[in-house]
Amino acid sequence: MQLDWWQWAVAGIALILAELAVPAFVLVWFGLGGLVVGKR
């Protein structure tokens, strides 16, 4: 199963929003990576 571009974008946005609940500055990088993959 291959993910479409919009699924990567939604996952990236969800991870960036999840960063608001997590005190560590980690999830934002995975979220940005998902947005970059979704843009390609």
Work out the number of other CB atoms within 10 angstroms of the CB of residue 27.
Answer: 17
Query: What local confidence, expressed as pLDDT, does residue 1 receive?
Result: 77
Give the predicted TM-score (pTM) of the model: 0.80
8-state DSSP, 33? H
Q: How far apart are CA 39 and CA 35, in angstroms?
A: 6
Q: What is the pLDDT of residue 24?
A: 84
- At 1-40, the pLDDT tens digits run 788 999 999 999 999 999 999 888 899 999 999 999 998 7
Q: How far apart are CA 35 and CA 3, in angstroms?
A: 13
